[in-house]
Amino acid sequence: MHYKQLSQQIFKKSSYLCVGLDSALDKIPSHLLKEKDPIFEFNKQIIDATIDFAVAYKPNIAFYEALGPSGWETLQKTIDYLPKDVFTIADAKRGDIGNTSQMYAKAFFESLNFDSVTVAPYMGSDSVKPFLTFEEKWVILLALTSNEGAQDFQFEELQNGKPLYEKVIEQSQNWGSHENMMYVIGATRNEQFAHIRQLIPKHFLLVPGVGAQGGSLKEISEIGLNKDGGLLVNSSRGIIYASSEKDFAKAAAQEARVLQEEMKVYLDQL
Amino acid sequence: MHYKQLSQQIFKKSSYLCVGLDSALDKIPSHLLKEKDPIFEFNKQIIDATIDFAVAYKPNIAFYEALGPSGWETLQKTIDYLPKDVFTIADAKRGDIGNTSQMYAKAFFESLNFDSVTVAPYMGSDSVKPFLTFEEKWVILLALTSNEGAQDFQFEELQNGKPLYEKVIEQSQNWGSHENMMYVIGATRNEQFAHIRQLIPKHFLLVPGVGAQGGSLKEISEIGLNKDGGLLVNSSRGIIYASSEKDFAKAAAQEARVLQEEMKVYLDQL
């Protein structure tokens, strides 16, 4: 998907919501376990219920990999089920030497036809660039994550006084553009968010951590939105596990709608 | 596998060779393509041919993932085929927030029963620790990799004058011990190798980059070996693609034997 198409979808749906499909057998409503492929059935109903309120879907690859070969089939069915006008993210956090990253890129962009994949920066340029050679496909690079462990290395101050995550953002400007790269910036990083937005005014930011992890949609939106949208705010458990009963899809729709309606307010203010 | 068992295997076989199973359909000998599962047939013959010379095997997960569900089945068959007394490494370079890393750990340690998995450090403690809660299982943490992109961030000097990779090694000492953690240190990093060995005298180091990438087995061994062995030196393409003809397994055995015989010399000098 092109930058422009994604931007158009955001204004068409008045939403920059990404629904995270962290779907696990021990978390989905028990009545689905009698289905042939319970996870796919769950994803299908979640997608149907939330499609009017979301512009992006993000299967968390670990949850499918943990199921072995059948999990990979479930993932394939899920991506095939998603309409072509939503932006799809393989949340895989891959990254390896060049010929290996090339194989991961093929797996997610060709076999599975995702629009984007999350990539870890530690191994540097040749671990990221192979993902950037595919037309209309995106790298979403980890920069400043929402988890506690981000403190261990991402905030480390370098000799020039800047933190590591800023070096990651700056260095990676040489690898791609705002038309094929996004960055993961946690919603719990308000203090850093404004400066990051100044550094990369045009790039889309994928923002996890709203809700359960304590990030504020209002603050992130006020700082992070740009004239093209420029944000994808993810919610996973808050939406898909809003209810563990037979009404789970309706409850998911309700949670997604609440977020979308709040997003509409911020988009209308642009 | 326990630290002691691995050490015993090294001295029993006079080898610290790891064979990297980067097996790809467009690289294996063409006569195998008529097999029902060409990659498994290739791996099987490679394993049979090299088992006397190697103590560890390292499937590169990207190469299996790129094949979709059937690749995952091939991976399962390969790990099931490997004898219990070899050390198995899922070269996956995973790492995500806690509950997601937990799922990856289950995938590789429970479903597939690998002894170890390679993990990327960027997301910090809670992305690594879930892998350390499994008995007799190992994290192999990326520290200083052999690829060119390592220059981008791993060598960045921090405020205390130390490079980032050293901070990764130091910080992660709080997460595990030499009995459940190893580090990836590229064979192309001779200059840094001696200092790293001083920092972590007891830890096993997984060393890629000998051969094709220019690292010297002699230099690495002289600096890196300790009384328990302490090294796993990987060779992938140099062994498995030593020949692209019907004699590929014999050629692989020959390459593995040459490395093992050189390793025996260094082990005998300990």
pLDDT in tens, B37-60: 999 999 999 999 999 999 999 999
Q: Mutation test of the interface with chain A: which of B152, B164, B165, choosing the one with the most A Cβ atoms within 10 A? A: B152
Q: What is the 3-state secondary structure (H, E, C) of B200-268?
A: CCCCCEEECCECCCCECHHHHHHHHCECCECEEEEECHHHHCCCCCCCHHHHHHHHHHHHHHHHHHHHH
What integer is the mean pLDDT of B255-268? 98
From chain B residues 225-254, the ones with a CB under 8 A of any chain A CB are: none
What are φ and ψ of residue A236, in 5° steps? -110, -85
- Taking every pair of Cα atoms in chain A, the longest distance, rounded to a whole number of angstroms, is 58
Neighbouring-strand partners of residue A13 = none
Q: Determine the residue of chain A that is closest to B22 in CA distance.
A: A100
The number of beta carbons lying within 10 Å of the beta carbon of residue B4 is 10
pLDDT of residue A215: 84
- Determine whether A93 is an active site residue: yes
Say how far apart CA B19 and CA B59 lie, in whole Å.
8
Give chain B's radius of gyration (CA, Å).
18
- Tell whether the model's pLDDT for residue A166 goes beyond 80: yes
pLDDT of residue A188: 85
Determine, for residues B122 and A127 on separate chains, whether the beta-carbon distance falls below 8 Å: no
Say how far apart CA A125 and CA A117 lie, in whole Å.
16
pLDDT of residue B211: 73
Determine, for residues A65 and B126 on separate chains, whether the beta-carbon distance falls below 8 Å: no
**Do B45 and B263 contact (CB within 8 A), yes or no?**
no
Residue type, A54: A
User: pLDDT band at A211, cuts 50/70/90?
Assistant: confident
Contacts of A240 in chain B (CB under 8 A): none
Token pair belonging to A139: 């790298």
Q: Mutation test of the interface with chain A: which of B93, B104, B236, B240, choosing the one with the most A Cβ atoms within 10 A? A: B93
pLDDT of residue A33: 97
From chain A residues 64-103, the ones with a CB under 8 A of any chain B CB are: 65-73, 76, 91, 93-101, 103
Determine, for residues B122 and A125 on separate chains, whether the beta-carbon distance falls below 8 Å: no
Determine, for residues A103 and B24 on separate chains, whether the beta-carbon distance falls below 8 Å: yes
User: Closest Cα partner for A176 from A107, A108, A99, A105?
Assistant: A105
Angle, helices B217-224/B248-268, rounded to nearest 10 degrees = 40
pLDDT of residue B172: 98
Q: Is B40 exposed, middle or buried (0-12, 13-18, 19+ CB in 10 A)?
A: buried
**Do A164 and B164 contact (CB within 8 A), yes or no?**
yes
A244-250: long-range pairs with CB below 8 Å, 24+: A244/A27, A244/A28, A244/A29, A244/A30, A245/A29, A246/A29, A246/A31, A248/A28, A248/A29, A248/A42, A248/A45, A248/A46, A249/A45, A249/A46, A249/A48, A249/A49, A250/A49
- Tell whether the model's pLDDT for residue B214 goes beyond 80: no
User: Closest Cα partner for A238 from A9, A13, A16, A17?
Assistant: A17
Would you give the DSSP letter of residue A129? G
Determine, for residues B122 and A154 on separate chains, whether the beta-carbon distance falls below 8 Å: yes
Neighbouring-strand partners of residue B234 = B18
- Tell whether the model's pLDDT for residue A214 goes beyond 80: no
The answer as to CATH 3.20.20.70 being correct for domain A3-268 is yes
Q: Tens of pLDDT along A101-153?
A: 999 999 999 999 999 999 999 999 999 999 999 999 999 999 999 999 999 99
From chain B residues 161-220, the ones with a CB under 8 A of any chain A CB are: 164, 167-168, 171
User: Closest Cα partner for B146 from B215, B197, B88?
Assistant: B215
User: pLDDT band at B250, cuts 50/70/90?
Assistant: very high
Neighbouring-strand partners of residue A139 = A117, A181
- Tell whether the model's pLDDT for residue A89 goes beyond 90: yes
pLDDT of residue A12: 98
% chain B with pLDDT above 90: 95
Contacts of A95 in chain B (CB under 8 A): 93, 120
Q: CA of A242: how far to CAs of A13, A46, A202, A232, B7, in Å?
A: 22, 11, 33, 20, 50
Contacts of A141 in chain B (CB under 8 A): none
The number of beta carbons lying within 10 Å of the beta carbon of residue A232 is 27
Contacts of B60 in chain A (CB under 8 A): 96, 100, 103
Q: Determine the residue of chain A that is closest to B97 in CA distance.
A: A147
B149 interfacial to chain A (CB closer than 8 Å): yes
**Do B185 and B144 contact (CB within 8 A), yes or no?**
yes
Contacts of B98 in chain A (CB under 8 A): 147
What are φ and ψ of residue B116, in 5° steps? -155, 160
User: pLDDT band at B191, cuts 50/70/90?
Assistant: confident
Query: Which is the catalytic residue, given A44, A93, A167, A264?
Result: A93
**Do B152 and A181 contact (CB within 8 A), yes or no?**
no
Q: Tens of pLDDT along A15-27?
A: 999 999 999 999 9
User: Closest Cα partner for B58 from B238, B230, B236, B241?
Assistant: B236
- Tell whether the model's pLDDT for residue B27 goes beyond 90: yes
Say how far apart CA A145 and CA A18 lie, in whole Å.
16
Residue type, B229: G
Contacts of B73 in chain A (CB under 8 A): 69
E strands present in chain A: 17-21, 56-59, 87-94, 116-119, 138-144, 181-185, 204-207, 231-235
Q: CA of B89: how far to CAs of A124, A163, B109, B146, in Å?
A: 22, 33, 10, 18
Torsion of CA A61, A118, A19, A54, to 10 degrees: -140
Please report the number of interchain residue pairs, chain A to chain B, with beta-carbon separation below 8 angstroms.
Answer: 186
Say how far apart CA A125 and CA B152 lie, in whole Å.
7
B154 interfacial to chain A (CB closer than 8 Å): yes
Q: Tens of pLDDT along B129-147?
A: 999 999 999 999 999 999 9
pLDDT of residue B198: 96
Contacts of B159 in chain A (CB under 8 A): 156-159
Determine, for residues A106 and B66 on separate chains, whether the beta-carbon distance falls below 8 Å: yes
- Tell whether the model's pLDDT for residue A62 goes beyond 80: yes
Say how far apart CA A88 and CA A138 lie, in whole Å.
10
pLDDT of residue B122: 98
What lies within 8 Å, CB to CB, of A118 at 6+ separation is A89, A90, A91, A92, A93, A94, A140, A141, A142, A184, A206
Determine, for residues A150 and B124 on separate chains, whether the beta-carbon distance falls below 8 Å: yes
Residue type, A242: A
User: Closest Cα partner for A102 from A77, A123, A130?
Assistant: A130
E strands present in A27-86: 56-59
B157 interfacial to chain A (CB closer than 8 Å): yes
